[in-house]
Amino acid sequence: MDETNVPYPRRAKRVNMRKLKTMILSCLIEDDNANTVDHDSIKKTSVKPTKFTDVHRKLLQKLPLQMKNEISIPVVFFALLQLATQHDLTISGCPSLNDAIIEKH
């Protein structure tokens, strides 16, 4: 069996998950002001089906530079899984299986 080298970060990253989840919520409900989005507002607001790649792209535009350097796609997906559990969101795969669709259940 061939040996495969899998690179991993050599330094622990510190991510403010509460702020990251708030920013993801603002991307999902199409609110440009991330500071006014709270976790109760998503219960009142409808979430249109959104692709994970679109959420990640919008998130990178909104995040401060320091947070951009600390997050990765797995960290963003983990935060999205937590939001899905907390706010009754559904994450389903695309037919091509190269993206995920997030929508309100």
Give the pLDDT of the chain (105 residues) as one tens digit per residue.
677 776 776 777 788 999 999 999 988 887 455 455 666 666 667 788 899 999 999 999 989 888 888 888 889 999 999 999 998 899 998 888 888 999 987
Whether residue 7 is contained in a domain is answered as no
pLDDT for position 34? 45
* pTM for this predicted structure: 0.77
Which pLDDT does position 37 carry in this prediction?
Answer: 62
Total count of domains within the chain: 1
Burial label, 96 (beta-carbon count in 10 A; 0-12, 13-18, 19+) = exposed
Structural domain contains residue 76: yes
Distances (CA, A) of 45 to 3, 14, 27, 31, 55: 49, 30, 12, 11, 17
- E strands, 24-88, in order: 50-51
Would you say 104 and 47 are in contact if contact means Cβ atoms under 8 Å apart? yes
Domain with 95 in it: 17-104
CATH number at residue 50: 1.10.10
